[in-house]
Amino acid sequence: MKIPNFAGTVRRSQMVTTYGPGAIVNLKSPRGCPISAVTSGLDFWDLEAKPAGLKNRQKCFLSRLQKKLDVDGFRLPPVSLDTRFYIEETPLALPAKRFPDWLTCPKCYRLKHSNKWQKSTTVSSADRWCGRCSSKKEKVFVVPVRFILSCENGHLTEFPWVWWLKTFGSVKAYSKTKDDK
């Protein structure tokens, strides 16, 4: 079963350590496109992998820790590399949001928002590529920019690329051309 906008895989152990809720995760799509995303919070886990909470089959019980934290059990992250765990209607996928949303071409260095790059019209995919630098035989996948902003409380936001280019860049760098795909 295909997962809509499938962006890559992570191990369950990574979801409770390195790639926990709010972490920026670097992934590679099945076709090799680099994708950067922020993993969703715990409240989104139940939206994708039903039934919710401890009624879900992906749970565990650790009596000493349950007693210490005064909880009934623990929910495992809804990820799986093993197709035996897929339910026909609900694939075990962890929701994530593309972040940053600005991408750059490694060949021509153009910078654009993710919805301005080429994407498949027939397949649901998170892949994006440069229409200028790609050929029919080979796609030149665009890569996430590596500049973001965060406040003292840890909230993330996009770097203000449009403002920055208008203020400090050249008109040529920001202007759109006829062959801009």
> What does each of the 181 residues of the chain score in pLDDT, given as a tens digit?
445 566 777 777 787 788 888 889 998 888 889 999 998 887 777 776 667 767 767 777 889 999 999 988 887 777 654 544 444 444 567 778 899 999 999 999 999 999 999 988 767 678 999 999 999 899 999 999 999 999 999 899 999 998 988 888 765 555 454 445 5
- Write the secondary structure of the chain as one string of H (helix), E (strand) and C (coil): CCCCCCCCCCCHHHHCCCCCCCCEEEEECCCCCEEEEEECCHHHHHHHCCCCHHHCCCEECCHHHHHHHCCCCEECCCCCCCHHHCCCCCCCCCCEEECCCEEECCCCCCEEEHHHCECCCCCCCCCCECCCCCCCCCCCECEECCCEEECCCCCEEECCHHHHHHHHCCHHHHCCCCCCC
Q: What is the pLDDT of residue 1?
A: 41
Termini Cα distance of the chain: 31
Q: What is the pLDDT of residue 169?
A: 76
Q: What is the pLDDT of residue 7?
A: 72
Q: What is the pLDDT of residue 14?
A: 81
Q: What is the pLDDT of residue 148?
A: 94
The residue assigned the tokens 């934290």 is 69
Which amino acid type is present at position 105?
C
Q: What is the pLDDT of residue 106?
A: 96
